[in-house]
Amino acid sequence: MGCGTSTTATKDKKSEKALKAALVIQNWYRGYSARLKTRQRYALTIFQSIEYADEQGQLQLSNFFSFMLENYAHVHEKDPELVNRFFGSSTQDSKDRQDYLGLIDVPDSYCGPRLQFPLTFTDIDVLIEAFKQQQILHAYYVLEVLFETRKVLKQMPNFTHTKTSPSKEITICGDLHGKLDDLFLIFYKNGLPSVSNPYVFNGDFVDRGRNSMEVLMILLVSFLVYPNDLHLNRGNHEDFMMNMRYGFTKEILHKYKLHGKKILQILEDVYTWLPIGTIIDNEILVIHGGISESTDLNLLHRIERNKMKSVLMSPIPIDGDRATEKKNKAGKAIAAWGMKTDGPFSEQLTKHEWEQVINILWSDPRGKRGCYPNTSRGGGCYFGPDITSKILNKYQLKMLVRSHECKPEGYEICHDGKVITVFSASNYYEEGSNRGAYIRMSSGTTPRFFQYQITKATCLRPLYQRVNAIESSAIRMLKERMISRKTDLIRAFQLQDRNKSGKLSMGQWAFSMENVLGLNLPWRSLSSHLVATDKDGNTDYMSSFQDIHIQKPVKEVQSTLIETVYRYRSDLQIIFNVIDSDHSGLISMEEFRSMWKLFKSHYSVRIDDSQFDELAERMDSNKDGSIDFNEFLKAFYVVHKFDKLSKSDTKLA
Amino acid sequence: MMPYSLKGSRSRPQREIGTIIRSLGCCPSEGELHDLIAEVEEEEPTGYIRYEKFLPVMTEVLLERRYRPIPEDILLRAFEVLDPAKRGFLSKEELIKYMTEEGEPFSQEEMEEMLSAAIDPESNTIHYKDYIAMMVIDEN
């Protein structure tokens, strides 16, 4: 290519140079962009592992409650309601609607939204407009909606069957988790629900986001207006115990100081009446979590779903030797509390039924074939493509649509196109962490995906800034985890550090981190953020703890106690909430002490009792014999030395 | 040890593999990437890449130090080639033209992404020296 005049030759040379230059820049940029995206992925993995580890902690908690009930008789002499909470009583039904509503007045001065029963589409608009202006729906209407919803849901079967047609597509949305802006965006882009615009909301409407109540109200009102076109599936967060840990209970008690308790009571029941899933055109199964190799849809169609009070309260087994012993112990305890022994057990599902529901609400698909216990979350299982094929074929289904897992793009297809995950809460972990998505489909056509991402600013910040933000947030969370396990970590490090050099190889360090924290993360890649390394690549393991410590609410108390309370603060919060059945925020010193003793023995925590007493005395600042446990727990927070904010944003969720 | 599920996800394996390889510090061109993928793909393209096949190929790439990243000074010179008048910047239109028409063209998404970080919104120009300096700091 060198013929022609010299001008052409120069031109050629020039453009060849430009081509090469462009190639260099493109090549560099793609490498840089890939590294940015990988950092984003790491951050998401951190968030996700910690979230799942928390869920596992939640399941441990349910074991603790069983343990507590078997061993802690005297609290319940004073509080028989506590027993009802665990064994489920049907006294809720006998509570007359008027008992609640008759006593509540909506004052004339109330300028929030007012609903008119029977509800119509106007009420949906009224609510949306009101919530856009951050108004709060009066407790009276909340309760009316909940009562009405329960009444309608009771008539519905465990699985909703619905049909689509080419002219009537259905929209499937995943987890919303109280993110009201995402719901508004979906309705804006996709239209409000109506007879010609049906929706399936696949669980996890609440917890974590700030507007769980508003999201729930919009969904329930829409359901009441269009009960045959707006379908709701139960998610693992439609559960009063999950709400206690992940924020919805707190939100309700905060927004509804007077009537919050009533709302919580009826809500607990409404959850149990939510359908387990939706089946579209007899082909597509829509459920919140997933399946297991033993999933029996026929059984699931038959069970009494409302007996599943909380997915975290496993039924006390009524067959088997060890089980009988447990039953007798518990039975004695129950008898002591003046309840009939056969009563509570008929209020439960059998163990097998209970497991079937857990699997539906908690399982995750994975690439590996087979079915394995879901060790990250502690409940449900991991199911492979072979399981999907087997179950879909067994019931002549074509596809499984599920939610439950946050995906960077808002949706993900796996198992050879047979499983779709759809997640509708954008920016779930952090601003910029992920997109949200919804699906539109009708029989015979391929599903269409719509993605979005809520952003507070008018234009999106550049990618590197967003990634920096998520990354620092994730690392921060991880560091807080580390500090809450400081003693165990140091012990593990020292075990490997034979010559007491204060150093470990990268491999040794990573091994201990993974073992103690129980988080499956790419430790070597993250090490630069977490620990100092020398030029030989060895880690100085104590360096991780230098720039961060837990604030000591009381100087004289030992670090190990502080660390333990900090580590279990979410669990303690829930335990307190359960004991504090009148939701006063206070428990007596005596209750506090006995509960702590039990907690200690069940969780095998080695703390001197006198230390704890000392702490408790201090926390009862006005010396009236009761402790405000929210204040108590708030006092334990992590200080990041080099942060501008000295108090970390320790969301309990 | 990677946060990617190589076997689980079906979406755009070429892109995912490219991201992984690049995040390991290699900088293959798109053409080189294409060849590399051909090496690790299944005989019948299923859209999946097997980890067992990927690992030895990738290890070799790393050991041979193939596809070394671009040093900062070369990158600067590349920009200077595109800016023969030595103004110290490129206009938005010029950058777009080069990146989307020459070499291995950017997709629209890639172009928008680069612009969002690189561009000075008031003058609609890219001061490449500052841009490179900023990116280098960010990486370290």
Q: Residue B123: its pLDDT value, please?
A: 86
Provide the pLDDT confidence category of residue A67 given band limits of 50, 70 and 90: low
b (16+ CB within 10 A) / e for A35-71: bbbbbbbbbbbbbbbbbbbbbbbbbebbebbbebbee
b (16+ CB within 10 A) / e for A285-319: bbbbbbbbeebbbeebeebebbbbbbbbbbbbeee
- Rounded to an integer, the average pLDDT of A571-580 is 74
* pLDDT tens-digit map of A129-140: 999 999 999 999
Respond yes or no: is residue A237 known to be catalytic: yes
CA A295/CA A285 separation, integer angstroms? 12
Q: Is the ipTM of this complex over 0.90?
A: no
* Cα separations in angstroms, B5 against A375, B11, B17: 17, 11, 11
- Rounded to an integer, the average pLDDT of A588-614 is 75
Provide the pLDDT confidence category of residue A573 given band limits of 50, 70 and 90: confident
CA A107/CA A99 separation, integer angstroms? 19
Q: Is the pTM of this model over 0.90?
A: no
Cα A294 from chain centre? 25
Average predicted confidence (pLDDT) for chain B: 79
* pLDDT tens-digit map of A91-105: 444 456 767 777 788
**Range in A261-275, A334-348, A416-430, B43-57 with the lowest mean pLDDT:** A334-348
Where is pLDDT greater, at A426 or B134? A426
Query: Catalytic: which of A138, A177, A231, A237?
Result: A237
Sign (positive/negative) of CA torsion A195, A200, A203, A205? negative
Q: For residue B4, which residues of chain A lie inside 8 Å, CB to CB?
A: 41
Q: For residue B138, which residues of chain A lie inside 8 Å, CB to CB?
A: 464, 468
Spell out where A352-468 has E strands: 364-365, 371-373, 381-383, 399-402, 411-414, 419-422, 436-441, 448-452
B19 inside 8 A of chain A by CB = yes
Q: Residue A652: its pLDDT value, please?
A: 29
Indicate yes or no: CB of B116 within 8 angstroms of CB of A45. no
* pLDDT tens-digit map of A185-241: 999 999 999 999 999 999 999 999 999 999 999 999 999 999 999 999 999 999 988
CA A397/CA B88 separation, integer angstroms? 62
Indicate yes or no: CB of B29 within 8 angstroms of CB of A23. yes
Query: Phi and psi (nearest 5°) for A191?
Result: 90, 155
Highest mean pLDDT among A38-52, A300-314, A399-413, A603-617: A399-413
A4 inside 8 A of chain B by CB = no
Residue of B nearest to A384 (CA): B8
Sign (positive/negative) of CA torsion A241, A245, A246, A247? positive
Q: Within 13 A of A193's CA, how many CA atoms are on the CB side? A: 29
Q: Within 13 A of B34's CA, how many CA atoms are on the CB side? A: 4
Q: Residue A320: its pLDDT value, please?
A: 37
The residue to which tokens 């023969």 are assigned: B84
Of A508, A504, A513, nearest to A532 by C-alpha is A504
Q: Taking chain B, what is the end-to-end CA distance rounded to the nearest angstrom?
A: 22
Portion of chain A with pLDDT greater than 70, in percent: 81
CA A199/CA A640 separation, integer angstroms? 45
